[in-house]
Amino acid sequence: FPIPLKPALWSNADLDIVQTYLNKFFPLLEKHPAISLEERIKEMQKFFRLTITGKLNAETKTIMQQPRCGIPDVAN
Amino acid sequence: YQTFYGSPRWNKKYLTYKIVNYTPDLPREYVDDAIRRALMVWSNVTPLRFKRVTSGQADIMIKFARRAHGDGYPFDGRGGTLAHAFQPGEGLGGDAHFDDDERWSKYNQGVNLFLVAAHEFGHSLGLAHSNVRGALMYPLYSYVNPETFTLHWDDRRGIQKLYGRNSA
């Protein structure tokens, strides 16, 4: 099972930003139904060629807040 | 570049488009011209040809809308999502929707309509997002001068993979 993130590391606002963004632009695929939030952030960071940390660092948050197209970034 | 799952594409060379409504941000003539030039970005490098229709249905239906607008993918107000478009297919397939809570612009005082439309029409034709920064199909908005715009090699390769080259 994915290891749950420690709540202390995430504010509610951050968690909301991340989950909304990932659900919209990096939705879970049927073949990977149970990957952790950290893995999903890594997938997003890999797509945008950011430093892969699995954490909502400033670089990642900046990308998430930029204006963009509404189509998901994973082709499937 | 990426294509959508199953690489859907139009099985015809001549496609129609219809501008269903207009944004109040720009003169209608400019919207017409931006849409025409955005489609030309793709017809310049493929055998695809586009014809505007003003009545009935078209392959690519273009509209401006706010928040929920009937397709199950509501817009989110100013910023965030600017527009979206559907992969080739019947019904909603190929259609492009622009968030009218954005401030649409001819240059860079707001969001440039030509650049966003050219990106969305890439989806209408079957391209998904590219992870090549600088490519038109990169998912984040970035302003470049529309008068000196040239299609990135990654976009050209992607669209020509689907439709071949312009033989003219």
Distance (Å, whole) CA B142 – CA B163: 27
The reported pLDDT for the residue numbered A6 is 56
The reported pLDDT for the residue numbered A32 is 65
- Out of B5, B119, B131, closest to residue A69 by CB: B119
Interval B112-137: pLDDT, tens: 999 999 999 999 999 999 999 999 99
CB B98 within 8 A of CB B83: yes
The reported pLDDT for the residue numbered A76 is 59
The reported pLDDT for the residue numbered A31 is 63
One digit per residue, pLDDT tens: chain A, 76 residues?
666 655 556 778 888 889 999 999 999 876 666 789 999 999 999 999 999 999 999 999 999 999 999 999 987 5
Q: Is-catalytic flag, B120?
A: yes
Kindly tell me if the per-residue pLDDT of B50 is higher than 80. yes
The reported pLDDT for the residue numbered A15 is 87
CB B66 within 8 A of CB B101: yes
What's the mean pLDDT in B24-28? 98
- Residue from B29, B90, B102, B120 carrying the catalytic annotation: B120
Q: Is A3 buried (19+), middle (13-18) or exposed (0-12) by CB count in 10 A?
A: exposed
Which residue type, as a one-letter code, is found at position A8?
A
Kindly tell me if the per-residue pLDDT of B161 is higher than 90. yes
What's the mean pLDDT in B140-150? 96
The reported pLDDT for the residue numbered A1 is 65
The reported pLDDT for the residue numbered A4 is 60
Q: Two tokens at A47? A: 């797509």
Mutate to test the interface with B, among A71, A74, A76 (most CBs of B within 10 A): A71
Q: What are phi and psi of A3, to 5 degrees?
A: -75, 125
- Does B85 contact A71 at a Cβ distance shorter than 8 Å? yes
- Does A68 contact B81 at a Cβ distance shorter than 8 Å? yes
The reported pLDDT for the residue numbered B94 is 98
- Does A70 contact B140 at a Cβ distance shorter than 8 Å? no
Interval B57-102: pLDDT, tens: 999 999 999 999 999 999 999 999 999 999 999 999 999 999 999 9
Q: Two tokens at B108? A: 């860079």
